[in-house]
Structure 1
Amino acid sequence: MDSTLQERARVTRRSLLEAAARLFAEQGYAGTSVNDVSAASGRTSGSVYFHYASKEGLALAVVRDRFATWPSLAARYANPATPPLERLVTLSYEAARALAEDTLTRAGARLWAERDTIDAPLPDPFALWTTAATRLLAQARASGHLAYRVRPAPTACILVRSFFGLCTLTEALEGPQRITHRLTDWWHLTLPCLQRGADPAETVRRARAEVMNGAAPGVTA
């Protein structure tokens, strides 16, 4: 395949993926058909089957694109200039913004929640988050910034599950625009139990400001 055909194929796959994500986010997996994706993307149903083989294949691609891998967060996670616990808080604000605003992330989250209706094994995004949180908590302990008796691995597991539960319930009860506001409340409650040697409220303020005032659009509180 020459470069022109490869580029056309890439553009077609992307348009199908984005159309499917919008529909999955709005209507759910069961409420979306291949014909819906075809109509929304302006492509034929044959194109959908050629590039993704099935609706299940589309759903898997949507989950993998953002929700399961979170490629945009790698720089935040690895930035050595930011203390580990502040990195963890900043990552949570980035994830909350994506869950509130980014169609592909929102679709991935909804598809994962509806995974029992999808005839394909979807990747587990929470293992990635738990591993990342464990490492950041371990780094905080090594630098003397983690409270005594806080164990990184079990604490990371609780934080990740609590975070995603908070986002899900806040969206359901108050709408996505309130996720950042509730996340700030959550960190003000949680971070004093984790952090040693720094002001937790200031850590939350800096992390939130970095995301809200950064290049990516923020979520209003």
Structure 2
Amino acid sequence: MTTARWPASARYEAPESSAPGGLGFVQDLLNTASLGKPRQPDLLESADAARQWLHASAAVLHRIDPGAPAMPDGLDPGGLRHVVSFRDDLRALLSPGPAEGTAETVAVPSIGTTAAVTLGPGGARLSAQGDDVEALRSYALVQLVAASYGGTLRRLKVCANPRCRGAFYDRSKNCSRVWHDVTTCGNTQNVRAYRARLKERGLSSAP
């Protein structure tokens, strides 16, 4: 079985780190942001860049899920702002929260959209509704709900490194991965934490 190559996520992740099915589209939307080292371009920075990403990502999506709604061919300035805001809200929802026991609080955005519920012999089915930007938002949220009920949503994560925040799908057996790339994000954060501890003790890392 050939793993789909989502255009935005492929800039940062190996194919085996792609989320399954339509959840891969949500991951790809998250990874349109400027991430990585060196930084990759934001694929929603302009209408032309967004059009190219939508075309490429929708082509992958409809091979995986022929029943997915049509995605917009392009975005006007207002639509582009809505998609960028939606992407950023999703990242906030999926980002790791503060460490347990801390006093810090995180405001979680409320993302509203519409979807249809149909009942049949196989049970209830949730499907995306709307056109253009609303279809994109609705489909993404339907995938998140389906993943939640299927027990796979916990595997779609945002890197714990605040300088990365790349979206990845954790396929580890115990779902314990926290870094987008342990050799870069993980090591960078560990060194930064070590230096912070030395500073707190009034020590220097120099010999």
- Give the TM-score of the pair, scaled to structure 2: 0.34
Higher relative contact order at CA 8 Å, sep ≥6: structure 1 or structure 2? 1
- Higher-strand-fraction structure: 2
- Give the TM-score of the pair, scaled to structure 1: 0.33
- Higher-helix-fraction structure: 1
